[in-house]
């Protein structure tokens, strides 16, 4: 969710050290009627005045999920039909109560809810569990099974891996907001999952949230900071921060047009092209330096290229292609 039109702000991953705000997630079709109660009385809307009866008292009989939502919230429209369906399929093990926080903000404020959609499970009159964000249907069902005392039979590790794969697919397709939502869902279940923390940081970098990523990286627990995924993020952030100080790429191009052997200018341009996402161009600049002068900056072009490989990963097409060219230069 973006901050525009969202008076409650928006953050992914409650365990992060910095809030990350993203563009509006793609909205699913809205329910036919926000106030409609499906047959069986398992789902209903409530108010501040009715909260004690509808939630606190009712949760002494069976768990009650409270879905905090607002009409302007796209992810809320994604989650509502999913959670309603899951509650009805649970056949009375849990109930769902929906609260529009635009009309009734007091309860959400008392619970410290900063982002929606947010779902809080009440048991015996008290909050017992919860999650934020538009979780996929499988995770919503797993949450309800756990809350209702049923063995969902799902392998949580396998489930997390599946969600991580889906999040990566969305990221690769350019849907950074959707990707971040899924990474945040994983973090709800496993706050120190390195792939999820790194994934959400990558989404921030893609949306130029550099300062927030710096806060995250600097605030990581020691073990999490040592994870390969987080080290790659930290290195990528360093490259971005360095590139900001290297000057105007147009001016560097002009310098090279006047003097193609200006290796210092070419090295700077390679670093800038890398953070612009022009990986093949960045690699080609470094490879050209190596062809002309391996002694420049104590073999600095090769060392810089190897650093790029570490961030890009061994399976990246740019890494594979540049490694082949590098081998040709080294062993020619």
**Active centre residues (catalytic):** 73, 76
Tokens for 276, please give them: 């612009």
C-alpha distances in angstroms, 177 versus 12, 198, 309? Answer: 10, 15, 26
Instruction: Count Cα neighbours of 279 within 13 Å in the Cβ-side half-sphere.
Output: 19
CB count in 10 Å sphere of residue 123: 15
Contact 45, 111 (CB under 8 A): no
Contact of 30 with 36, CB cutoff 8 Å: no
Instruction: Tell me the β-bridge partners of 130.
Output: 120
In three-state secondary structure terms, 8 is coil
State whether residue 138 is helix, strand or coil.
helix
At residue 131, the 3 state secondary structure works out as strand
Using alpha carbons, list the distances in angstroms from residue 238 to 60, 245, 277, 305: 52, 11, 15, 15
**Widest CA span in the chain:** 80
E strand residue ranges, 178-302: none
Cα–Cα distance for residue pair 105/108, rounded to 1 Å: 6
Which structure tokens are listed for 187?
């973090």
Task: For residue 196, give the nearest of 26, 23, 24, 13 by alpha carbon.
Answer: 13
Q: For residues 95 and 307, what is the distance between their CA atoms, to the nearest angstrom?
A: 53
Distance from chain centroid for Cα 180 = 2
Q: How far apart, in whole angstroms, are the C-alpha atoms of residue 290 and residue 167?
A: 38
């Amino acid at each position: 969710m973006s901050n525009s039109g969202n008076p409650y702000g928006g953050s992914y991953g409650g365990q992060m050290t910095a809030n990350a705000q993203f563009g509006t997630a793609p909205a699913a079709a809205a329910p036919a009627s926000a106030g409609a109660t499906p047959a069986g009385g398992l789902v209903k809307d409530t108010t501040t005045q009715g909260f004690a009866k509808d939630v606190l008292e009712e949760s002494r009989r069976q768990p009650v999920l409270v879905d905090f939502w607002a009409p302007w919230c796209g992810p809320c429209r994604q989650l509502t039909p999913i959670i309603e369906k899951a509650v009805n399929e649970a056949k009375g093990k849990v109930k769902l109560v929906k609260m529009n926080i635009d009309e009734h903000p007091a309860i959400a404020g008392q619970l410290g809810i900063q982002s929606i959609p947010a779902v809080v499970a009440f048991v015996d009159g008290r909050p017992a569990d919860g999650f934020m964000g538009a979780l996929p249907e499988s995770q919503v069902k797993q949450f309800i099974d756990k809350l209702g005392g049923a063995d969902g039979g799902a392998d949580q590790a396998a489930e997390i891996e599946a969600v991580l794969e889906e999040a990566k697919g969305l990221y690769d397709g350019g849907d950074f907001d959707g990707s971040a939502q899924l990474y945040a869902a994983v973090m709800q279940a496993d706050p120190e999952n390195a792939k999820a923390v790194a994934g959400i940081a990558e989404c921030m970098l893609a949306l130029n949230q550099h300062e927030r990523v710096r806060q995250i990286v600097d605030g990581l627990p020691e073990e999490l900071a040592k994870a390969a995924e987080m080290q790659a993020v930290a290195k990528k952030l360093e490259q971005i921060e360095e590139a900001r100080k290297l000057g105007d790429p147009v001016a560097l191009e002009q310098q090279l047009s006047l003097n193609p052997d200006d290796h210092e200018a070419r090295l700077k341009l390679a670093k800038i092209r890398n953070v612009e996402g022009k990986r093949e161009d960045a690699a080609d600049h470094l490879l050209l330096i190596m062809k002309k002068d391996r002694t420049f900056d104590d073999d600095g072009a090769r060392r810089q290229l190897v650093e790029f490989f570490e961030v890009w990963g061994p399976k990246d097409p740019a890494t594979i292609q540049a490694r082949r060219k590098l081998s040709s230069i080294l062993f020619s």
